[in-house]
């Protein structure tokens, strides 16, 4: 395996009862990439990234992160995961949420105060540090979730539809934060069903009904399918 491979998904399938949700997924994601999984609702994107985050296992096949087999407790501290639903304590302030998760990661004292300041700046929420999360808007909650996933400075960030329900201006801000992190060396895997967001990724896998139907840079995918947009490319590759 190449040294610069961050994620290697090897013949991964998943069934829930009789329902096959992933079938024979083969994929390699390199260090330093922003890699997108694009597909309609139900394509299996969340199921796949949950496995990469160590929260679920394949029925068949294996996932390797940093050349080690998942799930692995020791790998968890190298990964930041932002789930589709925000897992926040609504009755606590943003700061209290950040302090709680920092403690879980073993970040304390001065380092904790520094990290809280840095991640809140990154997601542009510094002015709301002491506000109760129950009073946050949907977009603010998403950004706080992102801040929480960044506290321990993960090498790999796994984002499940990070900008759902966020207006276009904020979406841009959040993507600026992703680019910023990526420039500093963080590998990012992001699921989306939004085409303009997919266009921002270095490479993409197009998913449909639990299978990958094409992989490449947005430009390659358009060229290969002889189309002008990812939406058309997706249809040309057999998506719907
Ligand atoms: N724990 C589970 N038990 C049974 N079926 C499940 C489970 N988790 C996911 N599924 C099914 O697997 C399929 C794929 O779901 P998944 O959430 O991975 O899709 P997705 O591409 O992420 O879609 P979305 O964007 O809507 O989240 C769906 O049909 C879903 O109902």
State pLDDT tens for residues 159-203. 999 888 778 888 888 888 899 899 999 999 999 988 888 999 999
Q: Is residue 212 part of a domain?
A: yes
CA dist 204 and 217 (Å) reads 6
**In 3-state terms, what secondary structure has residue 89?**
coil
**Ligand 1 site, residue 210, Cβ cutoff 6 A:** no
Q: Which domain holds residue 197?
A: 33-54+78-236
**Ligand 1 site, residue 41, Cβ cutoff 6 A:** yes
**In 3-state terms, what secondary structure has residue 226?**
coil
Q: Is residue 43 part of a domain?
A: yes
pLDDT higher for 87 or 59? 59
Pocket test for ligand 1, best of 16, 48, 85, 165 (most atoms within 8 A of CB): 16
Q: Is residue 12 part of a domain?
A: no
The pLDDT value recorded for residue 239 is: 63
Q: Is residue 97 part of a domain?
A: yes
pTM of the model: 0.92
**Ligand 1 site, residue 43, Cβ cutoff 6 A:** yes
Residue 188: what are its φ and ψ, rounded to 5°? -125, 130
DSSP 108: -
Residue 1 pLDDT > 60: no
CA dist 168 and 37 (Å) reads 20
Average pLDDT of the segment spanning 28-45: 95
Residue of the CA atom closest to atom 5 of ligand 1: 16
pLDDT bucket at 2, cuts 50 / 70 / 90: low
Q: Is residue 15 part of a domain?
A: no
pLDDT bucket at 216, cuts 50 / 70 / 90: very high
CA dist 132 and 96 (Å) reads 9
Tokens of 155: 């090498």
**Ligand 1 site, residue 37, Cβ cutoff 6 A:** no
**Ligand 1 site, residue 47, Cβ cutoff 6 A:** yes
The pLDDT value recorded for residue 36 is: 97
CA dist 216 and 235 (Å) reads 15
Instruction: Identify which of 236, 191, 221 has the alpha carbon closest to the alpha carbon of residue 40.
Output: 191
- b vs e for 129-161, b when ≥16 Cβ sit within 10 Å of the residue's Cβ? eeeebeebeebbbbbbbbbbbbbbbbbbbbbbb
Return the half-sphere exposure (C-beta side, CA atoms, 13 A cut-off) of residue 91: 0
pLDDT in tens, 149-171: 999 999 999 999 988 877 888 88
pLDDT higher for 44 or 176? 44
CA dist 125 and 4 (Å) reads 34
Q: Is residue 104 part of a domain?
A: yes
Domain count, the chain: 1
For residue 223, the domain's CATH number is 3.40.50.300
Residue 123 pLDDT > 70: yes
The pLDDT value recorded for residue 152 is: 92
Residue of the CA atom closest to atom 28 of ligand 1: 42
**Ligand 1 site, residue 80, Cβ cutoff 6 A:** no
Span from the CA of 171 to the centroid of ligand 1 (angstroms): 24
Q: Is residue 118 part of a domain?
A: yes
Residue 122 pLDDT > 90: no
Q: Is residue 18 part of a domain?
A: no
User: By percentage, how much of the chain surpasses pLDDT 70?
Assistant: 98
The pLDDT value recorded for residue 169 is: 82
**In 3-state terms, what secondary structure has residue 159?**
strand
CA dist 198 and 204 (Å) reads 7
């Amino acid at each position: 395996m190449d040294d610069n491979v961050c994620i290697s998904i090897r013949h991964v399938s998943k069934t829930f009862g009789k329902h096959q949700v992933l079938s024979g997924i083969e994929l390699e994601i390199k260090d330093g990439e922003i890699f997108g999984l694009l597909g309609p609702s139900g394509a299996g994107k969340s199921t796949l990234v949950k496995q990469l985050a160590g929260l679920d296992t394949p029925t068949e096949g294996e996932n390797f992160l940093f050349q080690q087999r998942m799930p692995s407790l020791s790998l968890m501290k190298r990964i930041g995961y932002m789930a589709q639903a925000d897992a926040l304590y609504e009755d606590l302030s943003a700061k209290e949420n950040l302090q709680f998760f920092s403690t879980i990661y073993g970040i304390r004292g001065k380092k904790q105060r520094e990290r809280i300041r840095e991640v809140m700046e990154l997601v542009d929420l510094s002015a709301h540090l002491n506000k109760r999360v129950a009073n946050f808007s949907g977009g603010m909650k998403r950004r706080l979730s992102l801040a929480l996933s960044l506290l321990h400075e993960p090498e790999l960030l796994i984002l499940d539809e990070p900008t759902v329900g966020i207006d276009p201006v904020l979406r841009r801000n959040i993507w600026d934060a992703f680019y910023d992190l990526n420039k500093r060396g963080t590998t990012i895997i992001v699921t989306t069903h939004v085409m303009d967001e997919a266009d921002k990724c270095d490479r993409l896998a197009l998913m449909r009904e639990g299978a990958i139907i094409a992989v490449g840079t947005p430009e390659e995918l358009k060229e290969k399918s002889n189309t002008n947009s990812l939406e058309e490319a997706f249809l040309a590759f057999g998506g719907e």
